[in-house]
Amino acid sequence: MKHRFEVLDIFRGLFATLVFAFHLLPFANTPILNNQFVENSDMFVDFFFVLSGFVIAYSYQSLSDGPQLKLFLTKRVYRVYPLHFAMLIAFLGIEVAKNILSPYIQVNNLVNPSNNVFTFFTSLFLVNSTPVPGVRDVSWNIPSWSISAEMIAYVVFGSLLVFIHSSGQFTRRNFYYALVILVSLTGLWFVSNSFQINYSFDYGFLRGILGFFTGVLCFNLFSNTHTFVRTKPSWLFSLGELLTLSLIALAIYYGEAMKPWGAVFEVLFFACIYTFAFEKGIISAGMKRVGLFHKLGQYSYSIYMTHALLVSLFNVLFIRILKFQPEDYAYLVFLNFLLIYIVSAWTYKNIETRFQYKSKKKAVTEEVK
């Protein structure tokens, strides 16, 4: 039976919530949201990449041939694509509705130049994290670029692992993983002449590969050291948890200064995930006692994928129609998130769980996703 890293799952939910807050910024005018920490919380997307690499490396170490690779990628598609597709169709419906209703009501941004037929298909086929000619911005469901980057990382990881096994070089796998990180980082360097990594619609796939393989190395370190390290006293883990979270908070708060050195975030997230994977510190213990945190972790993918649409619709209702002011997001933010939470609970049950990959013999339920 596979182990579930509960605290890491909780972090995914908490950080998905902070990404929601980041995307709420253009509509709000309140210190609760409009502050340096939230304004740089887009960097938490890289935590998702690193964590994904960690848990995928935990679940899949034995991919050694084409059929296994095909099964791995099939499972991954079933995991991420149904909700992505559902949200893309929802955004398409909104665009169609805006055009139909425009003769009868005032519709701002009737034509979003980024939401066109071409970008619809780049999103549909999950290439919206690559530098496609003519695409100059994120489009449709804005967060979906990272799902594209994630899928590309899956393909690279699975293919590389098959090569490593088939060539008898499993003991040297970390060398190849580090090489992929170096190639990705070099590619990003050529783009900006810096270690900046916060790309999305253009070079987000390199950002995703960089974070994913950082997570793979993180798991391999954890796997090789956890028997020895877990015997250390709890206070040492508590200190490590406090230190890594403090450094991450500082890096996010001073994000504008740190983003040109964005690869630092990969190192910090590596350290955080490694430390909290042991779940032996006082912060881990406290987080595990909060039932809501577990739900946020469970619904994290739905929160991440549904929030952009629900933020926009919420803003239309409360700001444009009901004439609330941007300052009112000081409390509307909680109502908006409640809506996202309720919808995410529904999409988790009716889309994520319903479309899980099922083998011919039995349902395959991955305990770590």
> The whole model's pTM is what?
0.90
- Residue 106: alpha-carbon gap to chain centroid: 35
> And the tokens for 305?
């994928």
Supply the pLDDT for residue 362. Answer: 43
Q: How far is CA 356 from CA 76, 324, 360, in A?
A: 10, 40, 13
In DSSP notation, 329-369 reads: HHHHHHHHHHHHHHHHHHHIIIIITTT--B-SSSB---S--
3-state secondary structure of 96: helix
User: What is the C-alpha to C-alpha distance for residues 308 and 51, in angstroms, rounded to an integer?
Assistant: 22
Residue 333: count other Cβ atoms within 10 Å of its Cβ: 20
Summarised one tens digit per residue, pLDDT across range 41-81 is: 999 999 999 999 999 999 998 888 889 999 999 999 999 99
The dihedral sign for the CA sequence 15, 17, 18, 23: positive
H helices of the chain, in order, are: 6-24, 36-39, 45-59, 66-101, 117-124, 145-166, 173-192, 204-229, 234-253, 255-258, 263-277, 282-288, 291-298, 300-315, 329-347
Q: How far apart are CA 33 and CA 25, in angstroms?
A: 6
Using one digit for the tens of pLDDT, what is the confidence trace for 236-264? 999 999 999 999 999 999 999 999 888 89
Q: Which residues of the chain are modeled with pLDDT < 70?
A: 1, 102-112, 359-369
- pLDDT averaged over every residue in the chain: 90
Please give the pLDDT value at position 11.
96
Q: How far apart are CA 230 and CA 165, in angstroms?
A: 30
**pLDDT on residue 363:** 37
3-state secondary structure of 301: helix
pLDDT tens, position by position, 264-304: 999 999 999 999 999 999 999 999 999 999 999 999 999 99
Whole-angstrom distance, CA of residue 126 vs CA of residue 119: 10
Tell which phi-psi region holds residue 323, choosing left (phi > 0), alpha (psi between -120 and 50) or beta.
left
